Each structure stands twice: as C-alpha cells, then as structure tokens.
Amino acid sequence: MSELCTATFADLAARLGFSCGEAGGLIEFRNPAALENWTLPVLEVTIVLGSVLALIYAILRLRRHGDPTNLVLWFGATAYLFVIEPPLYFPSAFGIADHVDTMFAHNVFTVDFLWGRLPLYIIAIYPLMATLAYELVRMLGIFQRHGLLVGAACVGFVHHAFYEIFDQLGPQLRWWEWSLHNPINQPMFDSVPLPSVVVFAALWPMSLALCVRYFVGRHVDAGTKFTGPQLVSRTVVIGLLASAGTFVLPLPATVFGMGSDSVRGFLYAAELLVLSVIAVVVLYRQWSAPRSGSAEVYRNRLVQWYALVYLTVFALLWITALPDYFDAAAGRTPHGDPVGNLWYTIGCFVIAIATVLATFLVRQGKSDDGGTEQPSARGYQRTDGEQGVRVAEQELP
C-alpha cells in the first residue's frame, strides 16, 4: 500500500534500513537471521514467549480457579493496543492527518502486520508488560490494603520501570525510530519523547489496571462469577475506557502545556513524580509490613520468574550496547543511532529488581481490626484470631 507511505514514515523507514513501499501486506514473514541486527530476534522471542505463557496461565487460572482477572487483563491490554496504535500508523486513513503526523516507525521483524507497521512483538508486549506489572502489585497485596486508585498507581509505576528499560534502549539498537520533528513527541528525554516516558510507560497501565480492578478484579475477590458474554463485554469496555484514561490522565500537561515544550515537559515530569512518590511509599510500607501468624501471600510463580528472565535478557542487551553508548557524541553512536539515558535505566533496573524480590520476601500484615488478610484461589479472605489459616501458594497450574 504505497499510497499510505507518508513522507515522514518513508524517511523513518529508510533510516531503519527498509523501504516503506516494499513492506509486505497484512502479514509478512522474514528470515530472523536477515534482520537489521541480532538483537531484534532476541527481543521478539523474549516478548512473544512471555506473552504466550501469560495467556496460557490466564486460561488455566480461569479454568482451575474460576478467576478471569488475568485473562481480562491480557485481552484488555490487547484491545487497548488496537484502539491506540492503528491511527498512529495510518493517520490519513483515520482522517486525522491534519492533526497527527507519523510519530514513529518500527523496524521490520520476523513477523510483521499492516504493511510493516506492526511487528508481532508489539502486539505481545502490551499484555506481557501489563501482566508483569499488575501481578507483581497484586502479589504484594496492595489492592486489598490500599484500594483501587493507589493500587493502579503502583501498577503504573512498576510498569514504567520495566518499560523504560526497553524504551531507552530501542532507538540505539534500531528497534524503532522516533520522528524528531513531530511536536507531539516533544520534549525529548534523550532518545525518547517525554510523553512516551510518562503516558505510555506509566499512565496507560495505570488506567488499564484501574479498569480491570474496578470491572472484574474486585468482584472476583468478592466471589462473583461472570458468564462468558459478561467477560467479553467487560473486556471491551476496559479496552475503551483505558484508552480514554490515557487521554484524561495527562490532561494537565496537554492542556496547560500547549504552546510551550518546557511547560509541557515540566508538567509531564511532575505527574510522573507524584505517581512515583505515592508508589514508592506504598510499595515499601506493604513490603515491610510484619507477617502475621503463618499466613502466606498470593504468588504467581510464572510472573516472578519470567520477570527475572526479562530483566536478565535486557541487562545483557544493555551490556552489549554499552561500547557504542560510551563512544557516542552529541547523543549519537558512531553509527548515528540515538542513545537513551543510562542512569535513568539503571534506576529502573533497581526498581524492577527490588519489586520482584519483594514478592519473594513480602510479609503479610494484620488488618486494622486485628484480623489478617489471607490470599485464596479467588482473592483475599479474612481470618480473625491469632492463628492464620495456611493457604497454598498459587503457582502456574
């Protein structure tokens, strides 16, 4: 579909090493050994494998424990993807070309959809990242103790840490290319637009978690059973409302920052700072709460271990990218690729690792009335008295 090759996208594609006009149709397969560099298939395998395992876990958890939360989360994140991404790829086809120009271009990978615009791993990364962040927060018991809004903020914060490890590295390794002349991408935070750092890394997963918890998670914990049509309708609503939340949550920056990149950047950073302070305080307090009796907390072993796999793979990818990173001049490697912020990435690694380790070490605290909150296959149950009922850890069935 060469008629959809806008000048901006064609230029970005050329920088990445492929031709927009020659990109395949609805779906195209390539030899992984013939991609731009070896990191692209490694990225694909890591993300797609994790997403598939998360989907299998979600299905098994619904069948064996009657808990559809993970499945709704997985498909809700995918629904959000298909609401948000296609208009960004084809602004002319959606009638928004006068307002939104091409923001970025993905490189071509082993499996691509929509004429080289949508790699398979991008479809997979939305539900995978959402599952990692949501389940890590869920394992820490934050939704039950601190409520829906604070729990969603913590999901956004944890997602931000995992996502920025990936986001700050991508442009240097030619996984995608940002349009530096698009005002929507301004201001830039090294190689990444600050709106991406805040909105797509933190606020959209916060919005998604809020919707999933409100429409499904809290009802499941209360023992509600949903029919198939109810789950489908709620998943669609979650995808749509999470998309709306992505528009609403950054409104202070988008409204009051109009006409000034500096003001917009300050407000974006302020929103992220507020969310981060709340999340850090809550995550630490929840982790450090004293254990009561012999209670055990809910654990998703798949998420715990795959989060460590993800962090290990990206640590290796970052290590291999460091020589070019340190040889960079004026923010670009000797090959002309933009570099991310290493120190910010290190901070994200620290947060992500600490959060995962906390799920192994979390201690269950007493509730305000002296009872304890106990995890069960359907959520959190209450027990009164000094001795808690021992509940088996929830692992991949």
Q: Burial code of 345-382, b = ≥16 C-beta within 10 A, e = fewer? A: beebbebbeebbebbeebebbbbeeebbbbbbebbbbe
Whether 397 is in a domain gets the answer: no
Q: Which two tokens stand for residue 365?
A: 């605290």
Q: Which of 129-138, 218-227, 270-279, 313-322 has the lowest mean pLDDT?
A: 218-227
Spatial strand order in the sheet of 111-113: 27-29, 111-113, 118-119
Domain membership of residue 388 (yes or no) is no
Residue 48 belongs to what domain range? 6-383
pLDDT tens per residue across span 107-122: 999 999 988 899 999 9
Nearest partner of 87 among 65, 118, 59, judged by Cα: 118
Question: Which of 93-97, 144-148, 149-153, 352-356 shows the lowest per-residue confidence on average (mean pLDDT)?
Answer: 93-97
- Tens digit of pLDDT for each residue in 57-102? 999 999 998 999 999 999 999 999 998 888 888 887 777 777 778 8
Mean pLDDT for the stretch of residues 25-38: 93
Total number of domains in the chain:
1
For residue range 317-351, list pLDDT tens digits in order: 999 999 999 999 999 999 999 999 999 999 999 99
393 located within any domain: no
Residue-level pLDDT at 229: 94
Average pLDDT (34-38) is: 94
Mean pLDDT of the region 376-397? 38
Q: Establish if 394 belongs to a structural domain.
A: no
Provide the strand spans (E) within the chain: 27-29, 104-106, 111-113, 118-119, 176-178, 188-189, 192-193, 372-376, 379-383
pLDDT at 297: 66
* Domain contains 390: no
Residue 366 predicted with pLDDT over 60: no
Q: Is residue 389 part of a domain?
A: no
Which pTM was predicted?
0.89
Q: Is residue 14 part of a domain?
A: yes
Percent share of the chain, pLDDT over 90? 67
Domain assignment present for 230: yes
User: Between 317 and 9, where is the model more confident?
Assistant: 317
Residues 207-232 have a mean pLDDT of 94
| Mean pLDDT score of the chain | 87
